[in-house]
């Protein structure tokens, strides 16, 4: 395996690409009692249209999430969650817009649990009866998310920002779309996206890296599969598809989310954009910013206000929002602050304080095997080195932040979604 050391942060990483295309990443954590393993595929809710063997194929919304639910069914009738739990592991899984991951943490029995993880994720087993049953279960989950203000505000904003990109639609799909899913749909999508060349195995803990790679090589299919080409639509340019939308729900106070599309980036450029954008948002409207203090003292926002960068499905955007009795007033004050920052630049002293806080947060994150593995998998699929985030963070200048604000946070490119009482 190839070893890369990071002396500035005291980390090292072993990586290897197996003959079947699987990327194996091991972050040794000598002395750690807990080990975390994550087996992920570069396949999420937004990956509904793809090309394979020269043919474009379309699938219903919600297939990636549906697969995540059904992959725990094993051919011998057992449930993988139970098998892992009985062996002392804490297993789980998640599906985002651009990734599906299965994982466990354990303080013992790591080898057995790793073998179980690799086997059940790589060997699908679906029946018509189990698929029909799952359609009812996921249908209830979908109806719950439709009543969740957090989900409604996020997808409401995505529908404003993007016309074509399926990131605008729920990862779980709709009751109507999942009704189209059959066993053939699941087997076909598993064959396409769960081939080792489209996947990564990430482990962090006190483990033998060579043994991890050897186990994966022995248990997973040996053939190298073609990686699908994804189509996320044609959403070029900074302008949102629409600028405003309002819905009514049973909420104690109006809820809003606003944001703007950022320039498309890939690889290390995407990592740098995410770091710079996050710093820009913290300087402009983070809890240490004059704007946040002013809005809070006026009673326009509360402690639930947030501002963050988000990137998935080939696009990036800034997000900010929370509860407010006057969402439009908050939006207008933030817009004026963005115009001011674009002309006069950011507060350099505040930027340095924000950078120091971010560095501390990132260094603490290295002690979390879970966050390390998720970060490494995302970096693998997006073409960047996740452990280079701290050096990137240290290198950010005030001019970098000012450029980001001018390019990606122009008030005329903001969209606003409001949930009213």
Sign of CA dihedral 219, 203, 170, 147: positive
Residues with a catalytic annotation lie at 68
Longest CA–CA separation in the chain, Å: 66
| 39 is a domain residue | yes
| 187 is a domain residue | yes
Q: Which residues contact 87 (CB under 8 A, 6 or more apart)?
A: 106, 109, 112, 113, 116
Is pLDDT of 156 > 90?
A: yes
Domain boundary among 230, 252, 274: 230
Per-residue model confidence as pLDDT tens digits over 290-304? 999 999 999 999 999
| 235 is a domain residue | no
Distance of CA 258 to the CA centre of its chain: 19
Q: How many domains does the chain have?
A: 2
225 and 249, same structural domain?
Answer: no
Question: b/e for 287-302, b at 16 or more Cβ within 10 A?
Answer: eebebbeebeeeebbe
Higher-pLDDT residue of 235, 167: 167
Q: What is the DSSP letter of 225?
A: P
| Per-residue pLDDT at 237 | 85
Domain span including residue 59:
2-230
| 316 is a domain residue | yes
Mean pLDDT, residues 49-65: 94
How far is the C-alpha of 405 from the C-alpha of 171, rounded, in Å? 30
| Per-residue pLDDT at 321 | 98
| 70 is a domain residue | yes
329 and 221, same structural domain?
Answer: no
Is pLDDT of 286 > 90?
A: yes
| 112 is a domain residue | yes
How far is the C-alpha of 367 from the C-alpha of 344, rounded, in Å? 39
| 239 is a domain residue | no
| Per-residue pLDDT at 235 | 81
How far is the C-alpha of 406 from the C-alpha of 403, rounded, in Å? 5
358 and 319, same structural domain?
Answer: yes
Per-residue model confidence as pLDDT tens digits over 88-129? 999 999 999 999 999 999 999 999 999 999 999 999 999 999
Per-residue model confidence as pLDDT tens digits over 206-230? 999 999 999 999 999 999 989 999 9
Phi, psi of 291 (to 5 degrees): -65, -45
How far is the C-alpha of 380 from the C-alpha of 17, rounded, in Å? 11
What's the CATH number where 308 sits?
Answer: 3.30.830.10
Are the C-beta atoms of 418 and 246 separated by less than 8 Å?
A: yes
Is pLDDT of 87 > 90?
A: yes
Mean pLDDT, residues 48-67: 95
Domain boundary among 182, 202, 230: 230
341 and 314, same structural domain?
Answer: yes
Exposure on the CB side of residue 294, measured as CA atoms within 13 A: 10
217 and 315, same structural domain?
Answer: no
79 and 7, same structural domain?
Answer: yes
36 and 149, same structural domain?
Answer: yes
Distance of CA 310 to the CA centre of its chain: 8
Domain boundary among 230, 265, 292: 230
Is pLDDT of 58 > 80?
A: yes
Residue 201: strand pairing partners: 24, 39
DSSP run (H or E) holding 176 = helix 175-178
How far is the C-alpha of 366 from the C-alpha of 332, rounded, in Å? 38
Residues in the chain: 421
381 and 337, same structural domain?
Answer: yes
| Per-residue pLDDT at 53 | 86
| 57 is a domain residue | yes
295 and 248, same structural domain?
Answer: yes
């Amino acid at each position: 395996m190839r070893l890369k050391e990071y002396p500035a942060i005291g980390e090292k990483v072993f990586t290897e690409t197996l003959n079947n295309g699987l990327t194996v990443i091991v972050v040794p954590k000598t002395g750690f009692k807990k080990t975390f393993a994550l087996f992920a595929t570069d396949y999420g809710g937004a990956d509904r249209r793809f090309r394979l063997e020269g043919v474009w194929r379309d699938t219903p919304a919600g297939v990636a999430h549906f697969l995540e639910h059904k992959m725990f069914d094993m051919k011998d009738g057992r449930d993988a969650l139970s098998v892992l739990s009985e062996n002392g592991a804490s297993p789980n899984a998640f599906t985002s817009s651009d990734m599906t991951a299965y994982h466990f943490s354990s303080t013992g029995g790591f080898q057995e649990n790793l073998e179980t993880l690799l086997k059940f994720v790589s060997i699908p087993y679906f029946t018509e009866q189990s698929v029909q049953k799952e359609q009812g279960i996921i249908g209830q989950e979908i109806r719950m998310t439709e009543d969740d203000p957090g989900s409604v505000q996020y997808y409401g904003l995505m529908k404003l920002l993007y016309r074509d990109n399926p990131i605008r639609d729920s990862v779980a799909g709709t009751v109507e779309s999942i009704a189209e899913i059959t066993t053939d749909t699941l087997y076909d999508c598993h064959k396409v996206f769960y081939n080792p060349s489209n996947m990564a195995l990430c482990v962090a803990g006190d483990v033998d890296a060579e043994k991890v790679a050897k186990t994966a090589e022995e248990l997973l299919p040996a053939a190298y599969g073609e990686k699908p080409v994804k189509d996320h639509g044609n959403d070029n340019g900074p302008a949102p598809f629409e600028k405003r939308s309002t819905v009514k729900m049973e909420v104690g106070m109006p809820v809003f989310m606003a944001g703007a599309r950022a320039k498309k980036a890939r690889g290390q450029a995407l990592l740098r954009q995410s770091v710079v954008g996050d710093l820009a948002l913290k300087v402009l409207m983070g809890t240490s910013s004059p704007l946040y203090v002013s809005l809070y003292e006026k009673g326009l926002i509360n402690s639930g206000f947030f501002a963050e960068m988000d990137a998935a499905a080939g696009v990036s955007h800034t997000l900010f929002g929370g509860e407010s009795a006057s969402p439009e007033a908050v939006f207008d004050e933030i817009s004026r602050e963005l115009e001011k920052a674009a002309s006069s630049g950011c507060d350099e002293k505040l930027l340095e304080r924000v950078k120091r806080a971010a560095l501390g947060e990132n260094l603490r994150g290295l002690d979390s095997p879970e966050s390390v593995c998720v970060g490494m998998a995302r970096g693998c699929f997006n073409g960047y080195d996740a452990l280079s985030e701290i050096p990137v963070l240290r290198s950010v200048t005030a001019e970098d932040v000012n450029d980001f604000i001018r390019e990606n946070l122009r008030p005329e490119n903001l969209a606003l979604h409001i949930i009213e009482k």
